[in-house]
Amino acid sequence: MKQDLIKELSRLTSEARNPDSQDIDLLPSSAVLEKINRADREVPEAVGKVLPEIATAVESIVSAFKRGGRLVYMGAGTSGRLGILDAVECPPTYGVPEDMVVALIAGGEDAVYRAQEGAEDDPAMGRKDLQDIDLRPEDIVVGIAASGRTPYVIGGLEYANQVGCTTIALSCNKTAAIAAVADIAILPEVGPEILTGSTRMKAGSAQKLVLNMLTTASMLRLGKSFHNLMVDVQATNEKLVGRTRRIVMEATGVSYEEADQVLQQCDHNAKLAIMMILGDLDTAAAREALDDADGFLRLALQKLGKAKADPLDTGSS
């Protein structure tokens, strides 16, 4: 069995030896960093090659959200932590419920801070973790595994398929086993790591880029921005309070004092404040206009014939 595993790993490009770093143990720090930097440049190019698959995944995620489903990430080690990192940023950034994007990691919460490497070898645990969050057919599950062979992730994806969920595999190997058990496979092949087997590097960077794309593009499709302004941000600390005011000022052209005054009237809701200012509406009417437009600020303003009131609008929609 151990020999089979070695053969399996030998077929993965993420486990191959990088010919550019054979002498890395003898190099000075500056030369090591140059090699790492040169290798890292391969990551966005690899991600760019799988944009069609990412777009398909985004469409499925948006559909899941619209029917009340959740986006569920699951992975082990670095892959699991990257899922957690992306998930926890969604509520403050986009004003969505905390359970809209869920992240599971093999080994549970302890694995976030301390490596639980053996936990990834149990496919039954992947199934159990999804059962524990009451996985439903309307949910969508993304299995994240740099190698593409993690048993915990495979077990979770197989269970999600049985439940009737749409499933997505994210791996950095084109021969990834998880691709065979998912509806959509996103496989940015970044090649051998600068340090053989250290997939927290290029593979981890690629996974983070893809996860950022999945949530960002999906939230944009749900009306969570106005132009490129983050209008559903939650003002939960001093920095975010300042950012909220700046967003309102950027979107409307009003002064700091005017933005602050309107935000005080609408519980620091940037989207609502912008709607009030550009739509010349009171709080209740602005909220109703946004509701009628399913939360899309630009669409709500277009319905009022005031879409070009945005000082940054050049006339294109």
164: its two tokens: 């009737």
Backbone angles phi, psi at 2, to 5 degrees: -65, -35
Residue 261 pLDDT more than 60? yes
CA 295: distance to chain centroid?
21
Buried b (16+ CB within 10 A) or exposed e, 24-51: eeeeeeeebeebbeebeebbeebbeebe
Which pLDDT does position 317 carry in this prediction? Answer: 39
**Residues forming the active site:** 89, 120
Whether 195 has a pLDDT exceeding 50, the answer reads yes
Average pLDDT over residues 147-162: 95
Given the structure tokens 């996985």, which residue do they identify? 135
* pLDDT tens figures, 214-260: 999 999 999 999 999 999 988 888 888 888 999 999 999 999 999 99
pTM > 0.85:
yes
- Indicate the DSSP class of residue 122: -
Q: What is the pLDDT of residues 105-123, one digit of tens each?
A: 998 888 888 876 677 888 9
Phi, psi (degrees; rounded to nearest 5) at 25: -75, -10
Q: 50-72 pLDDT, tens per residue? A: 999 999 999 999 999 999 999 99
Residue 277 · residue 252 · CB < 8 Å: yes
Secondary structure string (H, E, C) spanning 62-80:
HHHHHCCCCEEEEECHHHH
pLDDT-derived band at 271, boundaries 50, 70, 90 = very high
Q: What is the pLDDT of residue 11?
A: 60
| Mean pLDDT rounded to a whole number for the chain | 89
CB distance 173 to 145 below 8 Å: no
Which among 116, 61, 120, 63 has a CA at the least distance from the CA of 87?
61
Is a pLDDT exceeding 90 seen at residue 163?
yes
pLDDT in tens, 79-110: 999 999 999 999 999 999 999 999 999 988 88
Confidence at residue 314, expressed as pLDDT on a 0 to 100 scale: 46
Rounded mean pLDDT, 256-284: 93
Cα(291)–Cα(240) distance, integer angstroms? 24
More confident of the two residues 313 and 20: 20
